Structure 1
């Protein structure tokens, strides 16, 4: 690989290398050729914090989506959800790599993903909640994708070229995720009486967490516009957004669900911390 290959540049010098990720190495990086230098005008601490938060959101979401494998209503949906999860995992990898480069630690992706405890994660609480039924998961994906898409659209013009490139790539992915979830919300909301009830219940549960999302990044206008359009088409009622957040995952205030999720995610890496494959 040439020195200007961004992913390899980010991984360069990390003690754990890049051999432990299941997808291996040598793939074509979407950030190839982009300078990894941090512009003088960019606050390295703020940049690292942003990358870490977004990476944690993505990693936890990817793990929850992976849990639908063999459990989704149809084989086609299993494949779709697995692919969406891989999109999130790809975002997490790049964001962790950038974080390790700019926060001074030179940690690699494995260190962030596998060797931090729940209290150290800065993901939003919505991402860590159990999947529940399919309606809840689709409501969560719709809200999360709409919120993250609005965030990425702003970050696509960030002064840091690497974060901007990651966000620009993510915009395309999140647009598809939002559309996929919206179609299912309409399909279930406008389906049978049972599917309508379950879709409304899922929407009610997810909306309760909007306050935390808007506190983490205020995309209220964009998110609510999407939700109004989708719920109207689905014949659903959009609940009021609670005036105060239910919690602050960005501050390490998580539900009891995150630790078990991480225990499963991190089990192999912690049992064999020096293993390579």
Structure 2
């Protein structure tokens, strides 16, 4: 099976008019005309917590993807990874803004991104792991995008109209992110002995973090089906090692999150009142 065939198969069920270049999905405001009042019957605290967790996932992985700038194997991939990171950063900003509205604090996106300590972050640990080699980052992106796409697809029909609009915008972006990762996964898995070995090592290293994704949102059936389709085409096995203890949704993180946030937050904390 060719990588193009996998790419197109994964796109089924999604509007892929912009599938191969979905970064930002245009310049329209996804919240234009949307009532920002929390609807009756919606748990505002739960809504805020969901937005913060999803925002944290996206922010932390966006920071990791930004680290590929000047380091990617080709200029085209550097641009692609950077723009995928920008997509996630855009989702982060909308989610944090909604969290501040829903929890009643009125906090802005900077307060969530720059002025919380690591134990207050609720991102899944998969997002915070160092990039490793290109194969590692591709496998991580494939896992993350497949899981987040399923999650945001469901949230696009949620009772809160703001979160629903944010999720609907994110679905278009994540469909491309997943397809980009799938294309590279097949190319590397079905490539040289070296690229295949690196993909196998990446799958082994990241598989223990997969269970944490399903605790945060149970999309096991969909994600495993997507992975099987891609890995079968790549001729790669899907390892099933035991899950690692700990849970990023409860503030239990690896040692890698603190230095990442220290770098991310340094300027804002050094000049907390600065504007630019």
Does the alignment reach a TM-score above 0.5?
A: yes
Contact 1:49–1:99 (8 Å) recurs in 2: yes
Contact 1:153–1:171 (8 Å) recurs in 2: yes
Per the alignment, residue 275 of structure 2 pairs with 276
CA distance in 2, matches of 1:40, 1:260: 41
Contact 1:140–1:206 (8 Å) recurs in 2: yes
CA distance in 2, matches of 1:134, 1:276: 35
Per the alignment, residue 16 of structure 1 pairs with none
Per the alignment, residue 261 of structure 1 pairs with 260
Per the alignment, residue 155 of structure 2 pairs with 155
1:122-162 deviations in Å (ceiling 9; x for gaps):
00000000000000000000000000000001100000000
Higher relative contact order (CA 8 A, sep 6+): 2
Contact 1:210–1:241 (8 Å) recurs in 2: no
Cα distance, 1:246 vs. partner? 3.4
Report the structure, 1 or 2, having the larger helix content: 2
Cα distance, 1:47 vs. partner? 0.3
Per the alignment, residue 82 of structure 2 pairs with 82
Gaps of 5+ in 2: 1-26
Report the number of matched residues: 250
CA distance in 2, matches of 1:70, 1:203: 25
Gaps of 5+ in 1: 1-26
Per the alignment, residue 127 of structure 1 pairs with 127
CA distance in 2, matches of 1:81, 1:148: 17
Contact 1:55–1:96 (8 Å) recurs in 2: yes
Per the alignment, residue 184 of structure 1 pairs with 184
Matched, 1:175 2:175: yes
Matches within 5 A, 1:1-277: 28-240=28-240, 242=242, 244-277=243-276
CA distance in 2, matches of 1:250, 1:241: 21
Instruction: Name the TM-score, length of structure 2 as normaliser.
Output: 0.89
SS at 2:49's partner residue?
helix
1:233-259 deviations in Å (ceiling 9; x for gaps):
0010001253x4532000000000000
CA distance in 2, matches of 1:31, 1:82: 24
CA distance in 1, matches of 2:28, 2:182: 31
